[in-house]
Structure formats: C-alpha cells, structure tokens
Amino acid sequence: MDKIYDQTKIEQKWYKFWEEEGFFKADPDSSKPAYGLLIPPPNLTGSPHLGHAMQHAILDAVARFKRIQGFDVLLLPGVDHAGIQFEGTLNKLLEKEGTSRQKLGREEWLKRAWQFKEEIYKTFHDTWTVFGLSADWSREVFTLEPKVQRAVLEEFKSFWEQNLLYKGAYIVQWCPKDQTAIEDVEMEYEERKDKLYYLQYGPLIIATTRPETKFGDTAMAVNPNDKRYEQFVGKEFEIKTLNGPRKMKVIADKAIDPKFGTGAEKVTPGHDILDYEISKRHNLEIIHVIDKSGRLTKVAGKYAGMKFQEARAAMIPELKEKGILIKEEDYVHSVPVCERCKTTVEPIISEEWFVKMKPLTQKALKRMNEINFVPKNYKKILSDWMKEIHDWTISRSLWWGHRIPVWYCQKCNPNHLVGKDKDMIISLEKPGKNCQTCGQKHWVQDEQVLDTWFSSGLWPMATLGWPQQSKEFEKYYPWQFELSAPEIKYLWIARMIMLGLHFTNKIPFENMFFHGMIRDLQGRKFSKSLGNGIDPNKLRNQWGTDSTRMALYTYSAPGRDGRASRQTMDERCKNFRNFGTKLRNIARFIIELKPSEASPELDSGFIQKKPWIPDQVGDDKLHPDDKKILDQLNKTIQEVTKNLEGFNLHLAIEKLYEFIWHQFADKYIESAKNRRTEAQPILEYVFKTSLELLHPFMPFITEELWQKLPHRGKSIMATSWPSTK
C-alpha cells in the first residue's frame, strides 16, 4: 500500500474505471426494480457553490446505496439554458466587444448565443462532474434540445386546446433592467428606509411612498367602514397636480387599509397591483406613467424621460412650492427587487401570455398525500401557496429560450391577436400552409420566449421522452427521489407537481427532499457582492472529494440551515481526511500485517456460516470480543440502512464514524492484536462490511481499500448491501 495517498490520481483512476465498466448506466430492459433520481439542472452560466456540491453529494449517496441494494438506478443529469442569466452574461460580453444585442439583431445574436453556449459548456461540464457523481452521462439533457422542445410544444398546445392559455394586457411585475416580466416568486424583498409623503388631494390628505406616480392617479379611495370619510364617498373634487388642476372622485373599497397613513389612498391602476384590482371593480381609467425601461412617460411633462428615482427627487421642491406636499416622515418598508439583478421591480401593464392555474392546483391539492415530503411540513407550505395562486405569466421579453410557438399572419392579423377564430397557428417551425383568410404565407412568430420554469416544470417527463411513451418513461416515471433548495419550492417543485399530474395523472416523484441552506457565519446567503462564497472545488483540491463530501453531509439534515466559513469547512474536511487516514491504517494492519497462517480467502467457511447467529453455531464458539464487535456491526448496519432509507445522511455518517473509529479501531483491533490469527476473519469481515456501508459517502477511498482485500466481483459498486440476516 502506497505510503502517500495521491487523492487526485486515485479519484481519476476509479472514476474512469466505473465509467468504463458501465456501473453508472441505467438499463430500462433490466428486470431489476427501478430507482430514479433526477438531478436539478444547474444553470449553464453558473459556477458551483456549496449548495450545489451538497445536492450532488446527497444524490450520489442515495444512488450508490440503491445500486448496491439491487436497484436499476437512473441518476439523470441535465443542464438548464438559464434564460435571463445567460442572456445577461452574453450581453455584457458583447458590450466589452463594442457591440450589442440591438446592433446584431435577433438572428445574429442567437448564432452568437449558441456559439457562446458551446464555448462555455466543456468547462462547465468538467466543473460539475468532479464530486464522484455516478450519473448516467449518456442520458444528459439540455433544456433547449429538440426532445425538450417537443415536450414544450405539447404543453403549450394542450393548454391552448383546454382553454387554459390566454394573452392580454394585464398588470405584471416588470424588471426594468432585464426588460421582461417576472413572477412574484422571482422577487426578493429589501428593507429600505424611505420617506412617506403626505400630499393634499382636495379635502383629503393622502400618504404615499411614490409621489412620482401621481401623474397616473385616477381616483382617491377610502375603506367603506371608515366613518371619517363617509361624507366624501361618491363625490368629485378638484385637486392640484404638477400639470394643473384635475377633477378626481372619492371611491370606497374594502381593499383600503384604514390604518395606513391617513386611511385615504390614491389609486394608480397602471403601477400598483392592488390599485389595478380596485380599478377593475370601479371601472377606472388606467394611465401609464412609467415605461418598460423604468423612465417616466410623456404624461409626466417636464419630468418625462427621468428614471423614477430621479423624478421623485426632482419633484419634491415643486410639490412643496405648490402646497401639495404637506409633510414627510421616515418610513421603513419592504421593496420588491429582481432576485437576479436586484433592480427595483415596477408593476406595469404589459401584453403577456398567461396560464390559468386554478384547474392545475385543484388536482394537485387532492394528490399531495401521495408524495413523501422531507421534512413533512413542506406539504403544507406548498399546499397553502397553491390555494392562493394567481395566473402564471409565462412570456418573457428575451431572445434566449423556448420561443413562443405561435405564428400570426402579418397581413390579416397585424396586431397579433389570439383566439380560435384568429389567423394564427401553433407550431415550432414556420407553417408551410397558407393563411385561411388571405391564402398566402405572411407568417411571423411571436417575439417573446417562454418562462424558463415553463420548460423546467416538465423536467421529470421531458427527460424521459414525454409526450412519447418510451420504455424509459414507462420504467422510471414517476421518479423515486428529487431534492431541492427551499428557495425554488414555488418556482420549480410546485410546478413540477402540478404539470406532472395534469399531463400524466401521476405524481412526478415519490420522495421530495428539501435540504437546508448553507449560509455564512452571520446567517447571510453566499453571494459575489458580499465576497463570502466558498468554492467547493478549492475544498476538493485541498482535501479530496471524499473528505469534502463527508463535510457536506454534516449540513444535510432535512430542512435545516447551517452556517459555514472557509475556516469551519477546512476544519471539517481535515477531520474527515484524518478519518480517511485511519481507514488506510486499519487496512494496512489487516492486509499488510496479515498472519501467514490465516486463510487467504476473505469469505472463509467461518465467515460464510456467520457463527454470531445463535441458531447456526453456539455462542460459546465465539470469543466475547468477537461477539461484541459483530453485534455492534449489526446495529450499525441497521441504523445506517434506516437513516439512508429516511434520507438522514448526517445521522448515517455519524454512526459509521463512531463505529469504525471508536468501536472497531480503538477497541476491537487493539484487543485483537493478542490473538491475531483467530481474529483475522472477523477483522476482514467487519472492515469489508464497513467499507461497503461507507461507500455511498466516501466512494473513492472505499473502492481503493476494498480492492486490496480478498474479494469477489469487480467493484465495491457490484456488491450486495450488508444485511443482518
């Protein structure tokens, strides 16, 4: 046995061996029962962080465990096209080159995008395959490949035919920087200290944080139960504005909070979701004050063209001068920002595509009991969200993604209206047939692309060839295991459940595992801006894959957040590297210092008869120390198996660490030195079994040491899971 453990050389050797032997490949024709694990597809432009590394470590441990248990395991990898993130990264690169998206035009930009994808994919792929992930790489799926495009087309067409899809101008959350609509669950909230401005509106004083939207006010509103204002309801008053006097009515609506400000509020339907709903109930005019770039429109007069923050600062002196601004107060509130670029989100009216969600949630809510949520409280969390869901905005004003598969006749339908009676066709390719109205082929495709989650929600099905009924789909759907960070439970997990049930009438996965978040020591998320990130590849390079994986499992308790720094991770990795050294020392003692008179076969008759089982051989045949260590081994097998079945990997490694280091090495091996030949079969058996139990967590060192023991079979991956029976 080499004195120096060359971790890089050993990891490369065994990973290559496993791949060449086909141990990672699933076989849909196999008679073995299926066990499918679906890897959340990382973003193409992303770099791995501790959360990704922990996900891969958890998935791989469960996959290796199930293989050794005798299952036909499919651990399926994939890559997400990353929508907004990819487009933003490429556009920054183009700016450095002196060009832009607009200068190139859509066709040339997309050519460059696919070229860029190929340039970064190789490096990206190498980065993501270093943690010993035993995935079936022959089945890797990219979310823009033809197989997924066909699934997305089927999804879109089905929704259209079932009247679950519509297009129209509605208020949406808009990111001015990314220039696209986003969903509520794609926003974060920042606590900010702003001003609350009290403005004179005729006889009322109204408090607002957004005086720049005053140009779009179409009513004043109070709560119908607020006695202070009942004399004003239904009456029209002249109010001062920066563009001259205007008449405005006071309305009563139950949505108004009488405890906010003065209890009277301005209604700006074009830039507030609550106000938009009020406007529909009261048939109010909608005025657009802020455009899609976040600048004020021409209705703002001399403030037109300003960013809304600039306009707010510029307006205050004039509001004071004209007696409109009565007073201002400090005010702390939560402001929605785009989770990607941190730009303040602006509610605006925009023409978008939507999916009606109520029919999808109704079925999902009835079937949630069929999924084993780990932790269990996530069933209620997701169910509560589904009960309050609103229609899903699925269109995005981007170029990178699944382009909306709708074609309009530019001659007969220039405004791109949709409907069963309109001149439009749903198709991936440009229609070859003539327009039914003009008899010509003036087809143009919808300019927008679909929300990334529209395709990602199909991930459990599309990866297996749906809508075709392939043998892979028949065998591996529904999947047995999926995992996720809690932050995308609504964006991804809830949608996979709803879409899976809607299109297949089956749940997409049987076990849904939510791991916690690893944060910094102050409890903050890791981010580039804070500079607090920990690169898992640097940990792996220093401490080895096995040690890094073991350190990550200590953070893998279901749903429980953990805190880490580079120093604390180094300490944990170092501890498990020392554990690996202990394993090698045990192996050196058992293998290299093996007595010459001991049996050369590991599976000697003594071991095969399992004399620690009373009904086979009497207890008096065993030395008390042998019986004790074998009893402890049986309990370890039971506990590790139970914790792997329950996805409590942190408990499984705790038990293995304690048994191997303290019970086996510190106590049994020390006591066995005085009766070495007699104890040798037990030493070999316990060590071999310990390596097999440890293999899902530390795959490389366990294979390396298992191969040095007398054994049968090609690999530790081809053994059977240890049993107490």
DSSP string, 555-618: T-SBT--EE--HHHHHHHHHHHHHHHHHHHHHHIIIIIT--TTS-S-SS-HHHHT-TTSTTTS-
pLDDT of residue 303: 96
Range 642-652 average pLDDT: 98
Query: Residue 612: pLDDT band by 50, 70, 90 thresholds?
Result: very low
Of the candidates 720, 698, 721, which has an alpha carbon nearest to the alpha carbon of residue 60?
698
Residue range(s) occupied by CATH 3.90.740.10 in the chain: 180-347
**In this model, does residue 10 exceed pLDDT 80?**
yes
pLDDT (0 to 100) of residue 620: 58
- The number of beta carbons lying within 10 Å of the beta carbon of residue 110 is 14
Residues 6+ apart with CB under 8 A from 706: 688, 691, 692, 695, 715, 716
Place 533 in a pLDDT band, splitting at 50, 70 and 90.
Answer: confident
**Residue-level pLDDT at 607:** 52
Percent of the chain with pLDDT over 70: 96
**Contact present, 49 and 166 (Cβ < 8 Å):** no
Q: What pLDDT, in 10s, does the model give residues 102-150? A: 999 999 999 999 999 988 887 777 776 678 999 999 999 999 999 999 9
Which pLDDT score, from 0 to 100, does residue 122 have? 76
Rounded to whole angstroms, how far apart are CA atoms 677 and 599?
A: 9
Q: How many residues does the chain have?
A: 725
d(CA 212, CA 291): 13
The answer to whether 292 touches 350, Cβ cutoff 8 Å, is: yes
**Given pLDDT bands bounded at 50, 70 and 90, which one contains residue 600?**
low
pLDDT tens digits, residue range 569-589?
999 999 999 999 999 999 999
Average pLDDT over residues 454-473: 95
d(CA 544, CA 539): 7
Find the range with the poorest average confidence among 99-108, 286-295, 531-540.
531-540
Q: Are 246 and 232 in contact (CB under 8 A)?
A: no
- pLDDT(526) > 90: no
Does the pLDDT value for residue 614 go beyond 90? no
Q: Where in the chain is the domain with CATH 1.10.730.10?
A: 574-718
Instruction: Check residue 343 and report its DSSP letter.
Output: P
CA–CA distances in Å: residue 271 to residues 277, 283, 308, 338, 531: 11, 16, 12, 16, 35
Does residue 619 have a pLDDT over 70?
Answer: no
Q: Say if residues 82 and 46 touch (Cβ distance below 8 Å).
A: yes
Q: What is the mean pLDDT of residues 536-565?
A: 95
Task: Select the more confidently predicted residue: 44 or 283.
Answer: 283
Q: How confident is the model at residue 615 (pLDDT cuts 50, 70, 90)?
A: very low
With residue 196 as reference, give the H or E element that holds it: strand 187-201
Distances (CA, A) of 396 to 102, 112, 430: 17, 20, 21
Is pLDDT of 721 > 80? Answer: yes
Residue range 477-491: mean pLDDT, rounded: 93
Q: Are 590 and 684 in contact (CB under 8 A)?
A: yes
Cα dihedral 688, 692, 693, 697 sign: positive
> Which range has the worst mean pLDDT, 16-30, 130-144, 172-186, 693-707?
172-186
Per CATH, the number for 574-718 is: 1.10.730.10
pLDDT, tens digit, for every residue of 151-181? 999 999 999 999 999 998 899 999 998 889 9
Mean pLDDT across 632-642: 97
pLDDT value of position 315: 95
Helix (H, G, I), strand (E, B) or coil at 410: coil
Give the torsion sign (CA, 608, 611, 615, 621). Answer: positive
pLDDT at 601: 60
**Burial class (CB within 10 angstroms; exposed 0-12, middle 13-18, buried 19+) of 525:** middle
**C-alpha span between 152 and 328 (Å, rounded):** 51
**Is residue 139 within 8 Å of residue 76, measured between CB atoms?**
yes
Number of neighbouring beta carbons within 10 Å of residue 352: 23
The CA distance from 80 to 452, in Å, is: 9
Average pLDDT, stretch 321-346?
Answer: 92
CA 668 to CA 685: how far, in whole Å? 13
C-alpha span between 201 and 500 (Å, rounded)? 52
pLDDT of residue 598: 67
Strand-by-strand arrangement of the 406-409 sheet: 424-426, 406-409, 443-445
Alpha-carbon distance of 537 to 566, in angstroms, equals 12
Taking residues 309-324, what's their average pLDDT? 95
For 209-259, how does the pLDDT look when each residue is reduced to its tens digit (9 = 90+)? 999 999 999 999 999 999 999 999 999 999 999 999 999 999 999 999 999
- Type of residue numbered 87: E
Residue 526 DSSP class: P
- Looking at residue 44, its pLDDT comes to 85
Quick one: pLDDT at residue 725?
55
Window from 316-330, 485-499, 601-615, 641-655 with minimum mean pLDDT: 601-615
The predicted structure's pLDDT at residue 605: 44
The larger pLDDT score, comparing residue 491 to residue 654, is at 654
Cα–Cα distances in Å, from 311 out to 244, 304, 307, 345, 712? 18, 8, 6, 16, 77
pLDDT at residue 617 above 60? no
**Average pLDDT, stretch 486-490?**
87
Judged against a pLDDT cut of 60, whether residue 609 lies above it is answered with: no
pLDDT for residue 2: 79
Q: Which residues contact 497 (CB under 8 A, 6 or more apart)?
A: 364, 368, 371, 382, 507, 508
Banded model confidence at residue 186, pLDDT cuts 50, 70, 90: confident
Domain 180-347, CATH 3.90.740.10 — does that match?
A: yes
